[in-house]
Amino acid sequence: MKKTACVVLVLACAGLARAKEPVEYVNTRIGNISHMLVPTFPSIQLPNGMLRVTPPNESFTTDRIGGFCLSVPSHRQGEVFQLMPVSGEASALRPGWSSRLDHAEALPYRYSVFLDDHDARVEMAPGRQAAVYAVTFENNKPHFILLKPKQKGWLKIEGSTVSGTDDYHGVTVYVYLEFDSPPPSSTRRSTAATSAW
């Protein structure tokens, strides 16, 4: 009787295990660092998708993130727009966007990371022509989303949306962002727009 109970229990537990999808076996970090070559960095992109994002710590040689690019138009040739979630008092915001990172996970279809300095989890998933970014703050400090064009361009904040352009080697790249709520305030600092959501 005891043997039967154990076998039934093992079979019941085995039935709960979900089979992995083939995409879950992809290692986005294969071929990562060579001392003589540019490192291979993971690209989060749907096949033939218009939007490609890479983790901001693509070289994996530091424990810091300097902001999230909203797209990489050409392989290894630069980025457009930059986003950084921060928390703390507005008067303490620094122009150097940086945070220590932890629990980074780069999959072909999703990237997530925890920003230690701002107690925020950032997740992104690309679609065919757009992407979804989710920021979850885990503290009670004031929260901000810092946005700016990476090269030269402009941003316009209207209600809970931000639109703008960035110049990429003579090509104009457009952005349109929708937030789940309008910011209580927004300020501009030179070409960068800093918005509090």
Q: The CATH number of the domain where 25 resides is what?
A: 2.70.98.10
d(CA 19, CA 106): 20
pTM for this model (two decimals): 0.76
- Helix, strand, coil shares of the chain, percent, nearest 5, are 15, 40, 45
Report yes or no on 1 lying in a domain.
no
Look at the chain and report how many structural domains it folds into.
Answer: 1
Report yes or no on 7 lying in a domain.
no
For each of the chain's 197 residues, which pLDDT tens digit applies?
455 444 444 444 445 567 888 888 877 767 655 555 666 666 787 778 777 777 666 556 678 888 888 887 776 677 888 888 888 887 777 766 788 888 888 888 888 899 998 899 999 888 888 888 899 999 998 888 888 888 889 999 888 899 999 988 888 989 898 988 777 766 655 444 444 44
Report yes or no on 92 lying in a domain.
yes
Domain that holds residue 74: 16-196
The strand pairing partners of 173, in sequence order, are 166
Cβ–Cβ under 8 Å, residues 40 and 28: no
